[in-house]
Amino acid sequence: MISVTEEISLLTKQENRLHNSLDNLRGQRSKVKEHRQLEKDLAVVLGKRQNLQAWAVFEIGMPVHRLNSNRLGIVKELKITPGGMGEVWVSWDGELQIPEQPNLLQIDGAAMAKIIAVGDRIKIRDGHEEAGKIFTVERLLARGAVETTDEMVFERQEWQKVEEVFQELTQTESKGDEELTHSASFTQETQMITQSTEELKEKAPKAIVTVDTTVISIQIEELTEDEEKERHRLELKVERAFYESGSALREIRDRRLYRVTHPADFIGYCRDRFGKTKQAVNYLIAAAEVFENLLTTTISCRVLPTSETQVRDIAGFPPQKQIEIWSEAIESYGGKVAPRRVVKGIVERLKEKPLVKASEFCTIGDAFILTRLEGAERKYNGCWAIAFEVRDFTIAVDVYDGELAVKPENLNPIDLPDVRRQLPETLKRIKRLRESGLLSRCAYTILESIGRQIYLDDFEEKLLAFMETEYKIH
């Protein structure tokens, strides 16, 4: 008997074959009947696949409600009909059990929130690569999955809730005018309520606790050399977990290993299989590439990132720049793994454009092309201008119809000697015409056009001379 996952895979392959057959018959009038039959077969296969995919997300004991209904039920049984369709048997009001179509049911997030809430702690079950680790819930996801503060997603069957028990021992002894108070507080992570006390005792750390009226001391058993090596090996796995995830996702993407269940939809596959968004997937893949790049260089103490967020802000830089930024980050953080805020601060500082002293950029009389102006001054982009005043960090320039104060970054120098000699004279002629107050609307348009030409051809020279003669400008 094949599994549901295998059945979905077979149906997907059958669906693809039917699509290909339909494409081959498209436009052939002589095979209309065959075309219709294929469409019917495709509808059956498609409906069955969608039914099984919807059915596979439910678990016994899961709180659900019908779409557009507030009535709460509990999943009691999951069945496959003789025809291969999935049925979800739901108990409504704790008594009546009714077979429901899975696509008409929705997992009740509010009821799930009663089981686990944001801020609760969870422990990962055996069988998962993160088994035994404790995480804090940051977001509740569909089907009982949770996202942790470490940006990891765990399915419902992978985690169990941890309850925190606080014990406080306080003993006070008074003698004469002196009072001495000894107190100790212990915090212990426990298993779910269903776990027995005996199991907790078996998993408790090997420690001897001695309490008397004056001293509370804890003596921890030392690790053996083999245990020390094993701990180091496991710590490396923890530190590189994000790299392993990103590398695996990249390989699945590049080799299109998702195509059986999600043809041409890698993000849909990641969402359905791992509960990861497009952004989360892209972050992990980019972080894995940064990690691989950092492995190729000798960084002091071989300090490497331990989470995706630490390198998120340097992923867009060239490989050598990534190495430089990460090296600076760990150096500024005392040779330790730098948190994201440190790395981000370095990145933001690099992106800031240094102020350029105007006196180091140009002198009075230099000619430029204006560029990257914004707002009301955008209309001058592409026009030529001549510097007439150099200030601390800005430059005052003359344009064909006035003056502007711009930054060095808004000026592209004109290096043609003939043009640099001609433009100041052209500017004077344009200004005299404009200041006459006699120009027609057409004349202003002509002067604006000349203000965009870095040199005048014969016709433009004649046109400017004609306007000077017509308006008696000498």
Greater confidence (382 vs 392) lies with: 382
- For the cut 70, the answer to whether the pLDDT of residue 217 exceeds it is no
Please say if the pLDDT value at position 17 is more than 50.
yes
* pLDDT tens-digit series, residues 424-455: 888 888 888 888 888 888 888 888 888 888 87
Q: Is the pLDDT of residue 201 over 60?
A: no
Average pLDDT (131-140) is 86
Domains of the chain, CATH where assigned: 4-107 (no CATH), 116-162 (2.30.30), 164-221 (no CATH), 226-351 (no CATH), 358-470 (no CATH)
Higher pLDDT, 140 or 274: 274
> What percentage of residues in the chain have a pLDDT greater than 90?
10
Q: Six-digit token pair at 212? A: 């008397």
- Average pLDDT of the chain? 78
Residue 237 has pLDDT above 70, yes or no: yes
Please say if the pLDDT value at position 241 is more than 60.
yes
Average pLDDT over residues 93-109: 76
Query: How far apart, in whole angstroms, are the C-alpha atoms of residue 411 and residue 135?
Result: 54
- Please tell me which residue, 332 or 355, carries the higher pLDDT value: 332
Q: Is the pLDDT of residue 209 over 50?
A: no
pLDDT at 274: 86
CB 332 within 8 A of CB 342: yes
- pLDDT above 80 for 49: yes
Closest listed residue to residue 363, CA positions, set 339, 395, 392: 395
Greater pLDDT, 297 or 56: 56
Task: Tell me: pLDDT of 196 over 50.
Answer: no
The reported pLDDT for the residue numbered 284 is 92
In DSSP notation, 1-40 reads ---HHHHHHHHHHHHHHHHHHHHHHTT-GGGHHHHHHHHH
Where does the pLDDT of residue 96 fall: very low under 50, low under 70, confident under 90, or very high at 90 and above? low
- Collect all residues with Cβ–Cβ distance below 8 Å to 330 and sequence separation of at least 6: 299, 300, 301, 303, 336, 337, 338
Which of residues 199 and 353 earns the better pLDDT score? 353
Confidence at residue 289, expressed as pLDDT on a 0 to 100 scale:
92
Phi then psi for residue 464, to 5 deg, are -65, -40
Distance CA 224, CA 74 (A): 50
Confidence (pLDDT) at 14: 87
Give whichever of 101-105, 120-124, 176-180, 202-206 has the largest mean pLDDT. 120-124
The pLDDT assigned to 170 comes to 36
| Model confidence band, residue 211 (pLDDT cutoffs 50, 70, 90) | very low
Q: How confident is the model at residue 254 (pLDDT cuts 50, 70, 90)?
A: very high
Give the residue with greater pLDDT, 358 vs 217. 358
Query: How far out from the chain centre does Cα 180 lie?
Result: 54
Which residue did the predictor score with more confidence, 463 or 66? 463
- 187 band by pLDDT with thresholds 50, 70 and 90: very low
Check if the beta carbon of residue 169 is closer than 8 Å to that of residue 183: yes
Tell which wins on pLDDT, 276 or 420. Answer: 276
- Nearest alpha-carbon partner for 121 in 148, 99, 95, 154: 148
More confident residue, 116 or 201: 116
Task: Work out the average pLDDT over 265-289.
Answer: 91
Judge whether residue 190 has pLDDT over 60. no
The predicted structure's pLDDT at residue 110: 60
User: Residue 386: what pLDDT?
Assistant: 92
pLDDT value, residue 177: 44
What's the pLDDT score for residue 300? 43
Query: Does the structure show a pLDDT above 90 at 55?
Result: no
> Please, which residues have CB within 8 angstroms of residue 309's CB and are 6 or more apart in sequence?
151, 340
**233: pLDDT strictly greater than 50:** yes
Percent of the chain with pLDDT over 70: 79
Quickly state the pLDDT bin for 62 (edges 50, 70, 90): confident
